[in-house]
Structure 1
Amino acid sequence: MTQNTVEKTPVTILGLGAMGAALARSWLAAGHPLTVWNRTPARAAEFAAEGARVADTAAEAVAANTLTVVCLLDDTSVDEALAGIDLADRDLVNLTTGTPAQARARARWARDRGARYLDGGIMAVPPMIGVPEAGGYVFFSGSRELFEQHQETLAVPVGTAYVGEDAGFAALHDVALLSAMYGMFAGAAHAFALIRNEDIDPATLAPLLADWLVAMAPAVHRTAEQLQRGDYTEGVVSNLAMQVAGTPTFLSTAEQQGVSPELLTPYFELMRRRLAEGGGEEDLTGVIDLLVR
């Protein structure tokens, strides 16, 4: 073991699925002493050849190091893996995908057992782990002291972004960004459906679509400013009344192309409701208030 290895923070990781395995290999490559555990022992065995210590039980893995990273299927899996384990004076970092409420409950659960807790939301897929130029990162929330102590270690596989003491904020940021992503995918799916039966190569539409989405993306900054100020008419380029007036064209085009409008109609309905409430001079920001009522 080299001097460089000795100086690196030892890490325990519970869970060696695609994401957990990618994280584990990043820490190993960076020289961190690593203890691994997986529900299926065969998956953990391959890491022994790469220099990791393989624990027979989750309890043994947690006892091996102060810092334990959990990357399991769901919150129930975390319950099962950590049931009955002594967590006193442990630093628990939970990267398992869950809801804000689950994260807050898990933070209380960890504190009651004498552990410090960080929750994480991974904004990356496994091939992005260990590849800084890929742009992936993890949202972290919970103990600021814990984050600052282990930030250098946590940043080895992928970038870090601390978003607050509230343990639920990492999951909330994660789901908020992914929800926007799925909305974008829904719009792209509708766009491709419109040309599906035409003599138009999807590969020629793709770069146009990508560039258009990039050009529209900065509008989120105007939305944020309008929400902060409570004035949805400031900086409006195309007001709600004008946009609602244009929606029949989108619906008629979909009908003529034999495409279901089901990805568009819920949003168009919210736009019409906001217009009916007198928001004709506003931007689309007022739709948000309809969603949170």
Structure 2
Amino acid sequence: MATPLRAQNDAMTPIPTPAQPGAIELGTGPLPGARNPETWHAQYGSRFARNVTIATLTPYLPDPAKASGTAVIVAPGGGFLTLSMENEGSDVAKALAARGIAAFVLKYRLNQTPATMAEFDKSMRAMFAGVARASQSPAQSQPTPQERMAGLAPQIADSRAAFALIRQRAGEWHIDPNRVGMVGFSAGAMLTLATELSGQDARPAFLGLVYGPLAPVTVPADAPPMFVAIAADDPFFANNGFGLVESWRAARRPVEFHLYEQGGHGFGMYPKTTTSTGWFDAFVRWMDMHGWVKAAR
């Protein structure tokens, strides 16, 4: 779910699948039962992928002279139906690499959508309208993180494979395997949290959750530091409290929370007049506070 509210009426325009130099297949196999092939479209001045059936990881490596040894897996959003590959993917990765942080865009497998753009557009509008209506009511029952995780087996497998690949090639990419974190947006934030809560070998060194669900969770005793950012006018996830942040605090685990007055949903790296645009600088300052922006001594 990565639609910026400032441009809800922008049309989705089909585009040729772009060259993706440097993309590495993760080896998690084709999506079971998939019939429709991967396609791309342009919207809001950015590019989106859908019907992703083969997961890939694309590195964006910093200048070796300024590399910190820290890496971040970037998980774009899109409701597990599409991926905001630039605004929540490569644009974020390039900005991190410019700060000396190795970044890797995870193009994870998606649920299948209609083959034609007209049918897909209709289905997306209906989905967003339904989710927005449900999220407006605090009394509305929201899926628990465990319920969300149950339907994310392919995506969690892709995330685990991404961590394994980065740690396997850490020497080649000048990365400390103990300093690999993950930042996700909307559905990508769900996947980021699910990766941590799955309790397997892929666990991130730190988490960044940008306009994702905020339902309370059972926090692992050794949960990593977590950064959370959301706009108060987010129509999907800002109306049911901040249980996730409270869970982290109750477990006495490090958490930083930014609640922006305005910004809507899906602001990502789009330049806006709202203070939500400052989330990236705040995230990097938070990383610096923990010592991840500078090379380890």
Q: What is the TM-score with the length of structure 1 in the denominator? A: 0.33
Higher strand residue share: 2
- Structure with the greater relative contact order (CA < 8 A, sep ≥ 6): 1 or 2? 2
- Tell me which structure has the larger Cα radius of gyration: 1
Say which structure is richer in helix. Answer: 1
